[in-house]
Amino acid sequence: MEGIKPNPFTFSAVIGALTDEGMVEKGIQVHKMVIKNGFGAATFACNSLINMYFKSGKIGDGRGVFDGLNDRNAVSWNSMVAGMVTNGLYLETLDLFYHMRLAGESSPRWFLPLLSSCVVQLRN
């Protein structure tokens, strides 16, 4: 295996496995390797990092990864929305949805009930 270098897909798989096992500290080490290998803005790897950070409650770190992305895709936006709702950030979720629409990203059908629940949570 000598001479084989990791790519964003490799890192994404490793981060996903670490997230599923609740090994966020190891995931942070892998994040450093992502940056060291020049994939700090690679959408595929960063989407996994966003998911990992939000699932572990490290909201600022997840937001930082998202903010550093130059090429956000539907998975990037969905990871952020799901992470914010999971962490009870309802007002921030609505703001993110607004910015998602401004960026020209379409919203899946399941967003409407999710956004409605955010409004209900904010009213309570």
Summary mean pLDDT of the chain: 90
SS (H, E, C) the chain: CCCCCCCHHHHHHHHHHHHHCCCHHHHHHHHHHHHHCCCCCCHHHHHHHHHHHHHCCCHHHHHHHHHCCCCCCHHHHHHHHHHHHHCCCHHHHHHHHHHHHHCCCCCCCCHHHHHHHHHHHHHC
Question: CA-CA distance, 85 to 116, in Å (whole number)?
Answer: 12
pLDDT score at 124: 78
pLDDT of residue 1: 54
Q: What is the mean pLDDT of residues 52-59?
A: 96
Arithmetic mean of pLDDT, 25-44: 93
Report the pLDDT value the prediction gives residue 43, as an integer from 0 to 100.
94
Tokens of 93: 């979720």
C-beta of residue 83 within 8 angstroms of C-beta of residue 48: no
pTM: 0.88
**What's the pLDDT tens digit per position in 65-116?**
999 998 999 899 989 998 999 899 999 999 998 999 899 988 777 777 888 8
Mean pLDDT of 21-25: 90
Burial readout 59-71 (b: 16 or more C-beta within 10 A, e: otherwise): bebbbebbeebee
